[in-house]
Amino acid sequence: MFPSSSNYISRKPRLLKEFDAYVKYSRTVLVRYFGEENVNTLVAEARLEFENLIPQLPYIGGKQPFTQFIVATGLSLAMYRIAKAHGKTVEETGELLYEIGKAFLKSSPAFLVRLFGKMNFSPFYLSRLRKRSIESHQRKYPDDYVFNFIKGDGKTFDYGVDYLECASCKFLAKQGAPELAPYLCPVDILYSEALGWGLMRTMTLA
């Protein structure tokens, strides 16, 4: 058993419900990529793969939204491994994950999407993010994110986050799938467009 894996194991029923919701909203996309006759088998295999990954998810303090990022990475990895077993390339899986992200956002109530988008600019959220950035440099959890909070100038940008270490990249590397990491980053742009974040990047660690 991995260090602090009990944190995720205790949440396994809830995490599997998240997987089921993920599949529910992405079924049309999965049919398009794999065919109606293969979807049920693929979903069952991916669910089992994700269940097996749950104890291996790195514990990074339980704080959100970073822990949810790790869960999403585990879910994406499960889908990648099964897609690969069914003959899909990493590029095709990257497209699949992007399309699933679009389907999920489309299924979400518009008012909740707008509300969530605004929350990421609230004083409370920014205060927590700034505090979290300072804590990250203590490296209490080796598999955690490490980043700097960049104060906005009030004109050209609201705030910035400079990642020095990426928990998702570390996890995928340990799982022998570092090639998947670059294909997770475009989903952030997708969410930015839907939530009104106005995300701009110069580069990514992936």
What are the structural domain ranges in the chain? 6-119+177-195
pLDDT at 112: 65
pLDDT at 156: 87
104 contacts 72 by C-beta, under 8 angstroms = no
Cα-based angle 21, 99, 145 (whole degrees, multiple of 5) = 75
d(C-alpha 92, C-alpha 98), whole Å: 10
pLDDT at 165: 95
Distances 102 to 28, 87, 188, 189 between C-alpha atoms, Å: 12, 23, 11, 11
pLDDT at 169: 96
Length of the chain equals 206
Sign of CA dihedral 118, 123, 125, 126: positive
69 contacts 62 by C-beta, under 8 angstroms = no
pLDDT at 174: 96
pLDDT at 75: 94
d(C-alpha 186, C-alpha 192), whole Å: 10
pLDDT at 117: 64
pTM, entire model: 0.87
Main-chain phi, psi angles of 44, to 5 degrees: -65, -40
Strand ranges in 113-191 using DSSP code E only, listed in sequence order: 146-151, 159-165
pLDDT at 93: 94
For 101, the token pair is: 């992200």
DSSP-H helix ranges across 120-178? 123-136, 167-174
d(C-alpha 21, C-alpha 148), whole Å: 33
- What is the pLDDT tens value at each position of the chain, 206 positions in all? 445 567 788 889 999 999 998 888 888 899 998 989 899 999 999 999 999 999 999 998 887 778 888 999 999 999 999 999 999 999 999 999 999 888 887 776 666 666 666 777 888 888 988 999 999 999 999 999 999 998 988 888 888 889 999 999 999 999 999 999 999 988 887 777 766 776 778 888 87
